[in-house]
Amino acid sequence: MACAKACFAAGVFAVALMASANTSAQKVEYNYLLHCGGCHIEDGSGLPPHVPDLRVEMPYFASFTEGRAYIARVPGVVQAPLNTEELTDVLNLLLSRFAPEGLNLQPYSVEEVAQYQQEVLVDPKKLRDQLMAHRPAVSDNTVNIDLDN
Ligand code: HEC
């Protein structure tokens, strides 16, 4: 009998936790669709070369500091009407979805995103080209990503 009450309470607690996890995951997904999906498309495929396909190079950029800063500072991210926590959740959703298995990318912390966003990215395309040009050297030092896969 003692258990009946306690176990019931534990069950209610677990269900409440699941419900809130579910709701916040849906909210992150919703934020992506609403604030990013118009350009990057629901599945991240975008409209290359104008709007990059997030499934392709984003995991590479996320594997080193300058690339992580670039991602967090592109105009579409900085100008989204989302707070830093919401932006962090959207970026981490994309990383978890698009990083190749075994890459073990570090998720963004709210502090990291806040720090990058203190500087405005003046010329995203130029910086992107520079980061891509350095790609082999950088990826040797950090992780190897085979883009052809
Ligand atoms: C108005 C269209 C538009 C919106 C909205 C938009 N983006 Fe972008 N995004 C772009 C373009 C264009 C680029 C290429 C860099 C540039 O010119 O700004 C880009 C670049 C990026 C990149 C770098 C990828 C790479 O391979 O270079 C990431 C990551 C990204 N966007 C994520 C987001 C997220 C997350 C959101 C929503 C919070 C978002 N974008 C909203 C158009 C958009």
Nearest atom of ligand 1 to the alpha carbon of 75 = 18
Tell me what pLDDT residue 12 has: 56
Asked if 135 and 110 touch (Cβ cutoff 8 Å), the reply is: no
Distance 40 CA to ligand 1 centre (A): 7
Alpha-carbon span 58 to 55, nearest angstrom: 6
Tell me what pLDDT residue 79 has: 93
Alpha-carbon span 80 to 77, nearest angstrom: 5
Over residues 6-60, the pLDDT tens digits come to: 655 665 555 555 556 667 999 999 999 999 999 999 999 999 999 999 999 999 9
Q: Which long-range CB contacts under 8 A does 56-59 form with residues at least 24 apart?
A: 56/147, 57/132, 57/147, 58/94, 58/95, 58/98, 59/95, 59/98, 59/99, 59/100, 59/103, 59/105, 59/145
CA distances from 22 to 15, 27, 56 (A): 10, 9, 27
Distance 95 CA to ligand 1 centre (A): 14
Ligand 1, pocket-test mutation among 30, 31, 40, 131, most atoms within 8 A of CB: 40
Q: How confident is the model at residue 138 (pLDDT cuts 50, 70, 90)?
A: very low
Q: Which two tokens stand for residue 132?
A: 């891509």
